[in-house]
Structure 1
């Protein structure tokens, strides 16, 4: 029972890895269905990808008969995932206690904006809102002349989705050990603060603080792709070995003897000056010349790819990352599963389903008789595709 991106992304991971994922939708459907582009106005490109391998059932959960049908489905489910605020899911009578009564071993996962124990519990949240609240937008402002900006990706939704996936897996593993189901909470705000502060807590880890909550290498104005004679390149000359190799490749110029380059600590303490000096040096050669030097010196570096470049990237092509297949929505190119398993590899399923495509089949699998299914559909408590 999730929509937009956070929950659908978490459950896409499960579908890719072999789970039978049932997408429970309202009669209006997941709003992401209607985002273009795509020839089917009810299944846009993002929806088709992030809901691949799932089955769709439509239930109008404001009707008691639909709620009963969902609880019937839950009796044999391992996991129940929703992305509604606590008050809203409670009004439907589908809180943890209700699902636990139907299935004591179920893992019940709440994926929503803010933890329900704090004053923000009832605030609505989307990716942009959580980016703003988590410190990420302020950090971006330090890299863009003080102008706040969002990251060029829906990072809050996706990080929270990944966190939801591993939290559910941990709960399933605990159940394998103990036989006990449980409730899991994954709030976007707390998840993104944890994510942001991995490196940025820095000196504020200590009490009293030993410095501000900021990792200076990351927020340095000089930290950006480096301009070359004819373009740009991304390079990370990071540890002592990298710097020694870099200086050796340049013939150990006089400026490399500056004490600020001596150790990881001195480079960090003078990170702005270090990166500014490097930026000047990078303009002396072409991108191709620098890439050859970096490969020879084993220094991490890559060209600046666009998202268009990625569709034809030779590494991704050779590894078979992009998977083109015919579907009922046309020929689609899916991004592959990034993880590999020697014995139990995942597989990309069918494109995201039509709204209510599997309603009748899923109700039958839950044990409802044909006359009961017909009654649900006739009453509007359940829906099939138009």
Structure 2
């Protein structure tokens, strides 16, 4: 058995996070992903802190498993010719390069469809084409700022902040992988490839406003934007006698069970809390009630009491705690790996499973150009031709 994308060939001209997250998702499900890198390599190889060897940061390793690396200089004719050879035999081409730059390279959809009409050409963009921002450069914090992510923090805390992870890259990368799957399905029925455009800004604006359009959904609006429950300053882990806990009593059964657990059964009849809509309208008061009660016992005591009533609750994990979480240990989530150049590593497992099987061969995150010769040979190059490409500076392979 093998992964659902076994046999799908992907040429990956992406870097940093948003593109590699997309292609890692494809690779984890069995696709053959060839990561094409410039002579300096993916910026993430050296951008993130923490490494044993130059060019192999921990973050790069996490985002680039199950891929092979080919190093080509696309500014040289020979390098571009090799790239086009790879695309001719591919099912999918993915890039996160601005459209104008892609067109200058001759790697836009029209150019590549001429040599491979079955190709799924996916462009992950900062901003969708046709809008005034289309040619602007952007990274995750730019998109968080523009899309309203930072504004939700201002509404909740009085100060705009970024989510302390490259959330927009992760979300958009996974959406791009999803869109590629949709396009592959259509190609199976029609035999024809297509261009797919996945913009970060528009996807994140949709992500935020689907949640927070709220009463402004109606025209004219019947109230302000924003889910006041989620935007409440108290919407966060709450202090116990010895730490923190998160509780989520949302249904009437859960909320009334919570009132019983904290010794306040009379709150069932309080007009502020007697229904889900009332608790949403009075979210701040509902959260304050929780906060006052939860301070009275330890986290372990509350977990026992609340779990017995089937009330959603959880202890608070730090990043270090998460690496020791017993449920993740049961699932084998953090996996040990012996990397040929980086030594003993830990990486996250693929969390999703398919009954028809998973990827059979696990590949380590590649060194820059580690598979240049192997992949070009599979594309029809003789070893002598690869030697000439390397000597001309159009290709590069990893040092032994």
TM over 0.5: yes
Residue 197 of structure 2 is matched in structure 1 by: 185
List aligned pairs for 1:306-321, cutoff 5 A: 306-321=318-333
- The alignment status of 1:32 with 2:44, answered yes or no, reads yes
Please tell me whether the aligned partners of residues 262 and 293 of structure 2 are also in contact (alpha carbons under 8 angstroms).
Answer: no
Could you tell me which residue of structure 2 aligns to residue 230 of structure 1?
Answer: 242
| Displacement of 1:253 | 3.3
Residue number in structure 1 paired with 2:3: none
- For residues 69-84 of structure 1, what are the structure 2 equivalents within 5 Å? 69-84=82-97
Aligned to 1:290, what secondary structure does the other structure show?
helix
Residue 308 of structure 1 aligns to a residue in which SS?
helix
Q: Shift in Å at residue 198 of structure 1?
A: 2.0
Aligned to 2:265: 253
Q: What is aligned with 1:2?
A: 14
Gaps spanning 5+ residues in structure 1: where? none
Cα distance in 1, alignment partners of residues 311 and 211 from structure 2: 22
- Does the 8 A contact of 2:259 with 2:267 survive in 1? no
**Residues of 1 paired with 2:183 and 2:111: CA distance?**
19
Q: Residue 360 of structure 1 aligns with which residue?
A: 373
How large is the Cα RMSD of the aligned pairs? Answer: 1.4
2:272 counterpart SS class: helix
Partner-residue secondary structure (3-state), 2:39: coil
Q: Does 1:114 align with 2:121?
A: no
Residues 71 and 372, structure 2, Cα contact 8 Å, conserved in 1: yes
**1:18 maps to 2:37:** no
2:395 equivalent among 375, 382, 386: 382
Distance in 2 separating the partners of 1:140 and 1:287? 27
C-alpha deviation, 1:149, in angstroms: 1.0
Q: What is the TM-score with the length of structure 2 in the denominator? A: 0.93
Of 131, 154, 160, the residue aligned with 1:141 is 154
Counterparts of 1:370 and 1:325, CA distance in 2: 31
**Residues 259-316 of structure 1: CA distance to partner in whole angstroms, max 9, x if unpaired?**
1111111111111111112211222222122111111011111110011111111111
Partner Cα distance (1:233, 1:194) in 2: 30
5+ residue gaps in structure 2?
Answer: 1-12
2:185 paired with 1:173: yes
Asked whether the equivalents of residues 118 and 193 of structure 2 are also in contact (C-alpha less than 8 Å), the reply is yes
- The question of whether the paired residues in 1 share the 8 Å contact of 2:245 and 2:314 is answered with yes
Q: CA deviation at 1:251?
A: 4.6
Q: Residue deviations 1:202-238, cap 9 Å, x none?
A: 1111111122221111001221211122221011111
Residue 345 of structure 1: how far off its partner (Å): 2.0
3-state DSSP class of the match of 1:69?
helix
Q: TM-score, normalised by structure 1?
A: 0.96
1:24-103 paired onto structure 2 within 5 Å:
24-34=36-46, 35-103=48-116
Give the structure 2 partner of residue 341 of structure 1. 354
Contact kept? 2:124, 2:199, Cα under 8 Å: yes
Separation (CA, whole Å) in 1 of partners of 2:228 and 2:159: 18
Once the 2 structures are TM-superposed, how far is the Cα of residue 123 of structure 1 from its aligned partner?
Answer: 0.8
Deviates more, 1:208-217 or 1:117-126: 208-217
Offset of residue 348 of structure 1? 7.3
Contact 1:54–1:349 (CA under 8 A) maintained in structure 2: no
Higher mean alpha-carbon deviation, 183-192 vs 372-381, is at 372-381
CA contact (8 A) 1:132 1:138 kept: yes
Task: Give the 3 Å change call, closer, same or farther, for CA 203–348 of structure 1 in structure 2.
Answer: farther
Q: Could you say which residue in structure 1 is the equivalent of 2:138?
A: 125
Report what 1:105 is aligned to. 118
Counterpart position of 1:351: 364
SS in 2 for 1:276: helix
Residue 30 to residue 150, structure 1, CA distance change in 2 (3 Å)? same
Counterpart among 267, 286, 291 of residue 279 in structure 1: 291
Residues 362 and 377 of structure 1, relative CA distance in 2, 3 Å threshold: same
Which SS does the other structure have where 2:230 is aligned?
helix
The change in CA–CA distance for 1:348 and 1:143 in structure 2 (over 3 A counts) is farther
Between 235-244 and 365-374, report the one with greater CA deviation.
Answer: 365-374
Q: How many residues align?
A: 385
